Chains A and B, each alone.
Chain A
Amino acid sequence: MKKRMLLVIALLSLVLIAATGCGSEEKQTLNVLNYDIYIDKSLLSEFEKANDVKIKYDTYATPEEMYIKAKAGASNYDLIISSEYMVERMINEGMVNKLNYDNIPNYKYIDETFKNQPYDPENKYAVPYFWGTLGILYNKNTVDASSKSWEMLWDQNHEKRIIMMDSQRDAFAAALKLLGYSLNTVNEDELDEAKALLIKQRPLVMAYITDGAPEIMIAEEADMALVWSGEAVSAMAENENLDFVIPKEGSNIWIDAMFVPSNAKNQEMAEKFIDFLCSTEATLKDIDEVGYSTVQTEALKQVDEELLNNHAFNIPKEDIDKMEMFRDPKEFIDLYTQRWTEIMAE
């Protein structure tokens, strides 16, 4: 009996430790869904105070999960931040509301480069939030990056010191770009060439991993890694021997965008929040937290010099021009999956 009591008391005290002030008055609420570590949290309370609204903020891991719940009608968000391919899919399926730009005056700060993108050609539905690209994170002391080419990842001198992403589209992007092809190709011959290249690279690769590459690079256990630009920014802040290069053959570009799903209950407040996130002050705070490149022109002028000179963050215009966005290959995705399985089976 005493044992059980003890157990219950201990568990109850755990609850008390966790107890948060959950006193909710009947206020307007704004339900926001975002990736994790993708906003400066202080902005939420700042917006809550300024607009007398309660924000319910949730995070999710992959766009696919978010889509399943939204499609089934099991989620009630007023504002969602997600990746461009998923935004495109949801727009095509009529799951996104058109925006009223009268409520988003700060839209003028968004860089023209990121407007009129293929996922939302007329900017009717989504406002860009952050963007990033694929590149090579390398150790300056051991790697010669003067070639500025994807070829670096095929350098025999770094046998078993190269880390690749365990992600078929990303790995194929490096090989296809090195060959001078589009990273959205559905030409089987081009894909076979890329496959041969990736098989040739296998003996050089230390590991194929999805996350954790920056950690290994920081510990200097590898010389090179295929990473996203934001990962490079945070890794370079931890270890000054690291540097980042976007190969001259071109790379991928992705944009995360904010949109109002069609079942939103509070569209006007959501638009106000979008506007707030597009303001220069909010963007500057977000940049510190997020680490990816900003789409906000005024904020870019005001970031500290160190970040401004970091070419994983402030990516030169000529590099952007050579970038290509992943498009949904629809049924052709099998061509990639099949070859990727073969590469992994070698």
Chain B
Amino acid sequence: MVRKYLSKIYMGLIYIFLYAPIIVLVVFSFNESKSRANWTGFSLKWYVELFKDTDIRSAFYYTITIALIAAVVSTVLGTVAAIGINSLNGKIKSLLLNINYLPVVNPDIVTGISLMILFISFNVTFGFKTMLISHIVFNTPYVILSVMPKLKQLDANMTEAAMDLGATPMYALRKVIIPEIKPGIINGFLMAFTMSIDDFIISYFTKGEGVTNLSIVIYSMARRGVRPTINALSTIMLTSVLLLMILINKRSNDSEKSKKTIKSEV
């Protein structure tokens, strides 16, 4: 009995630990005063300010656009690369996999500075495209890493069976391989998307004039204290992600339920 309570308390503490910072952030986005210490009353002032602040808005726009494009491109690149690597054998396969690990374990600052030097030596003007290319570069290995395990689980005979039955390689890819590894691909996409939103250092070194993302803007605020408009923005982003998750969960629950009912009817 005591053990049951203890485990509940432990769970509770863990969740408080995880969620307390987020709750504080959300609560203080409604604070009237600029201070993070004083609660002076409820107000939507910072949400109004947020929509007026063109800097934050344009940073948000660039963050999301770059994250989306980079995630889509690197998902395609990464998936194709993973399928290719998977079909290799022996030393070349492990060599390629190890080369793929390198950018992942490489500190961001090294990636950032080396990309910057690369762009300088090719005389590329810094701007949206340099930042986008860099994001694709650091996202792709993560996609490969999240697709690989799914490919390993895939029975190699499945593709052969499909082609024995007359499927062209392309058809087999679309109808057999892709559906089987889909969870890995979606995982990779989401990972790439979040990594891209998160990134500060690489973006900092590869950005151009007038193009910034949210993490750079927020980091620049550190000197004078982060503005509550950022709390407001984070709250909006949090709520959208939360709603999205609830919707997705509901959908998948519904479809599972309908599958079950179909099965029981059969």
A residues contacting B by CB (< 8 A) are 2-4, 6-7, 10-12, 14-15, 17-20, 22, 29, 31, 35-38, 41, 56-62, 65, 68-69, 72-77, 211-212, 214-216, 218-219, 221, 234, 238
Q: B116 — which chain A residues lie within 8 A by C-beta?
A: 69, 72, 74
The chain A residue sitting closest to B115, CB to CB, is: A74
Q: Is the CB of B251 within 8 A of A6?
A: yes
Question: Once the chains bind, are A61 and B219 in contact (CB under 8 Å)?
Answer: yes
Minimum CB–CB distance from B2 to chain A (whole Å) comes to 38
CB of B223 within 8 A of CB of A15, answer no
Cross-chain contact of A20 among B36, B57, B68, B217 (Cβ < 8 A): B57
Point out the residues of chain A lying under 8 angstroms from B204, CB to CB.
65, 69
**Distance in angstroms between the alpha carbons of A211 and B220 in the assembled complex:** 13
In chain B between 26 and 76, which residues have their CB closer than 8 angstroms to a CB of chain A? 33-38, 54-55, 57-58, 60-61, 64-65, 68
**11 other contacts beyond A15-B65, A61-B223, with CB at 8 A cut-off?**
A3-B251, A10-B243, A11-B64, A11-B68, A14-B240, A37-B227, A58-B212, A69-B205, A76-B126, A211-B222, A215-B36
- B220 contacts which of A10, A19, A59, A234 (Cβ < 8 Å)? A59
A57 and B247 contact, Cβ closer than 8 Å, known pairs A4-B186, A211-B223, A215-B37: no
Q: Does B164 count as interface, using CB distance less than 8 angstroms?
A: no
Within 8 A of A (CB), among B3-23: none
Size of interface on B: residues with Cβ below 8 Å to A: 47
Q: Is B208 an interface residue (CB 8 A)?
A: yes
Residues of B near A218 (CB, < 8 A) are 35, 37-38
Residue of B nearest to A12 (CB): B68
Q: Does B209 contact A (CB under 8 A)?
A: yes
> What A residues does B126 contact at CB under 8 A?
74-76
User: Which label, helix, strand, loop or mixed, suits the secondary structure of the A interface?
Assistant: mixed
Q: How far is the CB of B220 from chain A (nearest CB, A)?
A: 4
Instruction: Identify which of B55, B193, B205, B209 gathers the most chain A CB atoms within 10 Å of its CB.
Output: B209
**Chain B interface residues toward A at CB < 8 A:** 33-38, 54-55, 57-58, 60-61, 64-65, 68, 116-117, 119-120, 125-126, 186, 193, 204-205, 208-210, 212, 216-217, 219-225, 227, 237, 240, 243-244, 247-248, 251-252
| B68 proximity list for chain A (CB < 8 A) | 11-12, 15
Task: Report the separation of the CA atoms of residues A2 and B251 in the bound assembly, to the nearest whole angstrom.
Answer: 8
Interchain CB contact under 8 A, A60 and B209: no
Q: Is there contact, CB below 8 Å, between B120 and A72?
A: yes
CB distance from B24 to the nearest CB of A (A): 13
**Interface-centre pick from B119, B225, B251 (highest chain A CB count, 10 A):** B225
Query: Once bound together, how far apart are the Cα atoms of A22 and B59, in whole Å?
Result: 12
Assembled-state Cα–Cα distance A74/B117 (Å): 8
B221 engages A37 (CB within 8 Å) = yes
The minimal Cβ–Cβ distance linking A39 to chain B, given in whole angstroms, is 11
User: A221–B126 Cα gap in the complex (Å)?
Assistant: 46
The reply to whether A219 and B38 form a contact with Cβ atoms under 8 Å apart is yes
Residues of B within 8 A of A74 (CB): 116, 119-120, 126, 205
Residues A31 and B221 in contact, CB atoms below 8 Å apart: no
- Give chain B residues whose Cβ lies under 8 Å from the Cβ of A61: 219-220, 222-223
Kindly name the residue among B34, B64, B216 whose own CB sees the greatest number of chain A CB atoms within 10 A.
Answer: B64
Which residue of chain A is the closest to B206 with respect to CB atoms?
A74
23 residue pairs A–B, Cβ–Cβ below 8 Å:
A2-B251, A3-B248, A3-B251, A3-B252, A14-B64, A29-B210, A36-B220, A36-B223, A36-B224, A37-B221, A37-B224, A37-B227, A38-B224, A41-B55, A57-B210, A58-B212, A59-B220, A59-B221, A69-B205, A73-B120, A216-B37, A234-B34, A238-B35
Closest to B204 in A: A65
How many angstroms between the C-alpha atoms of A29 and B126 in the bound complex?
15
Shortest B246–chain A CB gap in Å is 11
Contacts of A211 in B (CB 8 A): 222-225
Given A36-B220, A69-B205, A74-B205, A31:B227 Cβ within 8 A = no
Give the residues in chain B near A75, CB-CB below 8 Å: 126, 209
Please name all residues of chain A whose beta carbon is closer than 8 Å to the beta carbon of B217 when the two chains form the complex.
36, 59
Q: List the B residue with the shortest CB-CB distance to A65.
A: B204
Task: A120 to B68: give the CA distance in the assembly, Å.
Answer: 46
Q: In whole angstroms, how far apart are the Cα atoms of A234 and B117 in the complex? A: 41
Q: In whole angstroms, how far apart are the Cα atoms of A73 and B113 in the complex?
A: 12
CB-based contact B240/A10 at 8 Å = yes
Question: Chain A residues near B225 (CB, 8 Å)?
Answer: 211-212, 214-215
Q: Report the Cα distance A214→B38, complex, angstroms.
A: 12
Q: Chain B residues with Cβ under 8 A from A77's Cβ?
A: 209
- The answer to whether A6 touches B223, judged by C-beta atoms less than 8 angstroms apart, is no
B258 shortest CB reach to chain A, Å:
12
When C-beta atoms are compared, the residue in chain A nearest to B59 turns out to be: A18
Q: Is the CB of A57 within 8 A of B55?
A: yes
- Complex: A2 Cα to B125 Cα, angstroms: 40
Q: Point out the residues of chain B lying under 8 angstroms from A19, CB to CB.
A: 61
With both chains docked as a complex, state the minimum distance between the C-beta of A16 and any C-beta of chain B, in angstroms.
10
Question: What is the CA–CA distance of A66 and B244 in the complex, to the nearest angstrom?
Answer: 38
CA distance A74 to B35 in the complex (A): 36
What's the minimum C-beta distance from A210 to chain B, rounded to whole angstroms?
8
Inter-chain contact B54/A20, CB cutoff 8 Å: yes
Whole-angstrom distance between the Cβ of A37 and the nearest chain B Cβ: 5
Looking at the assembled complex, report how far the CB atom of B41 sits from the nearest CB atom of chain A, in whole angstroms.
14
Task: Provide the bound-state CA to CA distance between A155 and B225, in Å.
Answer: 28
- Taking the closest CB of chain B, its distance from the CB of A45, in whole angstroms, is 9
Kindly state the separation between the CA atoms of A73 and B236 in the bound complex, as whole angstroms.
Answer: 37
Q: Contact partner of A58 among B33, B186, B209, B252, CB < 8 A?
A: B209
B46 to chain A, nearest CB (A): 15
In the complex formed, the residue of A with least CB distance to B252 is: A3
When the two chains form their complex, are residues A18 and B60 in contact, meaning their CB atoms are under 8 A apart? yes
